[in-house]
Every structure is written in C-alpha cells, then in structure tokens.
Chain A
Amino acid sequence: MRPTWARLLNKPSFPPPKTKWFHLRSSPRVRQFGDFGWYLFVIASWLPVVVMANDHFFELTRINGPSMYPFLNPDKDRSLTRDWVWTWKYNAQTKLARGMVVIFWSPFNPETRVIKRVVGLEGDIIRTKPPVPPGHVWVEGDGDVTQDSNTYGPIATGLIIGKVTHIVWPLHRVGRVNWEEYAEKIRHSP
C-alpha cells in the first residue's frame, strides 16, 4: 500500500509494482525501446493473427450492390445504409450446396469481390446449357440487376472466398442465413 499522499497526488510507488509483462519488460534488450516501443511490438505481434483470421476463418463484410436484392440490401432505394454480413471462410470451397450465399472474386475483375447464390453444382444442367464442368459452380444473384453466371458462365470453386452465414446489420434482420429454404425452391431433378 502506498502512502495516502502518494495515492492522492497519483505518484508512482517505488519500487515499481510487478506488472504482467514484467519479465520481458525488465530485460535491457527490450527496455532500450521504451514502454511505447514495447506496446507497439505487442500490437504488431497480433496483426498477422488478424490477417490469418481474415484470410482463412471469418470476416465482416459490407454489401454494396443490388445483386442480392431483396434478400440483402432490401432498403437500397430508401436509405444509404448497407447490410453487413458475417462470412465464414474455413472450407469455403468445399461442401457447397444449392442455395448457399457465397462471396467470390469476380472472374472479370480479379480485385473485386461479388456476392451471389449457388444455383447449380458440378454436373448440373442449367436451362439447356452444357453441364457445369467439374470444379465449377453456377451462381446467380437474387435481384434483377445482377451480373452472374448467365454473363460469365460457371465459376471455378477456387474463386470462392467464403460462405455468408449471418446477417449482422441492420439489427432488425440479424440472424442466420436460411439458405436451405432457397435450396428447396430451386427446381431440379435428382
């Protein structure tokens, strides 16, 4: 316990208390960069973890376009707020099913991500077109204003970044994405 006058004036006690990182902080090698340098190092050491999580596990994504209207961005003509969704990225390119909402790199523009719904898996025949080749899926947007597989053909599953699992914003539509309902609507013969 520090003396009362020291606590009132907020003066540091001597000797300084042992903090959580005392072992490393007190080593001369680390101390030469100061406390600020040490905190900078601790923050920097977590950046690759964030990068790995965003690359392979999950990401919060903002939906900009009208292609999934009215499932996503139903208020696109009334407000400027956009939907935020939770994307699951682990095993995103496998175990795909009809009806799933996926985010992938646009085949026409390799730096743009697009969100569409999986309509056909490999081997499926979509409206008198040739069967979807192996390793590819047929994707379509829900809305009318959409550039999808009808424009650029089936996409390789390697382009898929993640599966949309939850709507995070706006609050009144927060919840899991019930893609199974849409899978039943897609007419297909087994």
Chain B
Amino acid sequence: MARVGSYFLGHPWRIIVHSVQTCALAHYVFNHQYSFGWGYGPSMLPTFLVDGDIIIFDKHHRRGRDVRVGDCVSYHIPVTPDEDGVKRVIGMPGDYVLMNSPGATSDRMIQVPKGHCYIVGDNMPWSRDSRDYGPLPLALIKGKAIAKGQIVGCNPWKWFEPVPNGLAIEESS
C-alpha cells in the first residue's frame, strides 16, 4: 500500500487519469453488462411495487437483442425524452396484438411492424404504454429486468428474486 500511496501522492495528473479510467470502466459495466435502477409508479403492479423496488437490468438485451414475448424491459419512453420506463413485451415483430385493453370498446388488432415491439404494463388501467403511443422501436430498449428486490436484512442472497417471463409457455409432460 505504501507504494500505491507514493504513486498517487503529489501526482494530481495520475489521480485525474485513473479517475477517468475508473469512471469509464463503471460506464462500460452499467451500459453494456448489468445495471440497476429504482422502479417508480403503479404501472407494473403487482410485478414491481409502486415505490422502493430495486430492479437489476441485463444490458446484453439492449436494442431488443434476444428479447422474448413476456420479458420485462426497460426502455426510453418515446413521447417523453429523458425518461425511462419498465413494461412487459406482449408482441414482437409480426405478432398480432390487441390495440386496446381486453374488453375495451374496440377489439381492433394490429400486426406489430418490423423492428418494433408492443409493450403493456401489468396494471393495465394505470399504465401509459403502446396502447397510447403505438408500437415501440426495438432500438429504444435499454435492457431486460432480470431481478427485483429490496435491501432488507443482512443476507444479500435474500435481497433479490428473479423476474420471471410471465408469458412463457410452461412445458407440460
């Protein structure tokens, strides 16, 4: 440790350079590997709480890479720049989806266009999603929610639980 101290002590330039490198490494991890965020809002009840849930995102699924129907994804809200949202994918390119909620006045269906997906919140009456602004370009997807939880207690293994794909077809034997 003494050597590391003498390496930095009295060398402000080294401190700046290595701070930049450390920030860049953190940026790489949070933007290309895994990141976390705090969920807020009622739109994904009961999967995510209104407030207080920490969500872990897998950034390998950015721009819709290997996203399946039923996955919870974080995305750039198209109508309000600078805001990100978390919703569930219910249609991938080529799928036919209901334009409105089930049981609404109109039962119109559309085919999700090429390069787009259809996202809807789990709490349908309190969600602003593709039913309002139409199919979402896959390129706006930032990552896939893989775990959720709260930091309660002393055992880190009990803090988080996986977010399952809610629409996966269960294998029946």
Interface residues of A (CB under 8 A from B): 23-24, 26-27, 45-46, 48-49, 51-52, 55-56, 93-94, 105-111, 133-136, 152, 155-159
Contacts and interface: CB of A to CB of B under 8 A. Distances in A.
B81 A94 contact: yes
B28 to A, nearest CB: 4
Contacts of B31: 55
B64 interface: yes
Nearest to A158: B76
Contacts of A26: 3
Given A23-B3, A48-B21, 13 more contacts: A26-B3, A48-B25, A93-B81, A94-B81, A105-B139, A106-B139, A107-B115, A111-B63, A133-B133, A136-B79, A156-B76, A156-B78, A156-B81
Chain A contact surface mostly: mixed
Contacts of A109: 114-115
A79 B35 CA distance: 45
Nearest to A161: B139
A107 B141 CA distance: 12
B137 interface: yes
Interface in B1-34: 3-4, 6-7, 20-21, 23-25, 27-28, 31-32
28 contacts: A23-B7, A45-B21, A48-B21, A48-B25, A49-B20, A51-B24, A52-B27, A55-B27, A55-B31, A56-B27, A94-B81, A106-B115, A107-B139, A108-B114, A109-B114, A109-B115, A110-B115, A133-B79, A134-B79, A135-B80, A135-B81, A156-B76, A157-B81, A158-B76, A158-B78, A158-B81, A159-B137, A159-B139
Contacts of B25: 45, 48
B140 A156 contact: yes
Given A48-B21, A109-B115, A27 B3 contact: yes
A37 B78 CA distance: 46
A128 B29 CA distance: 46
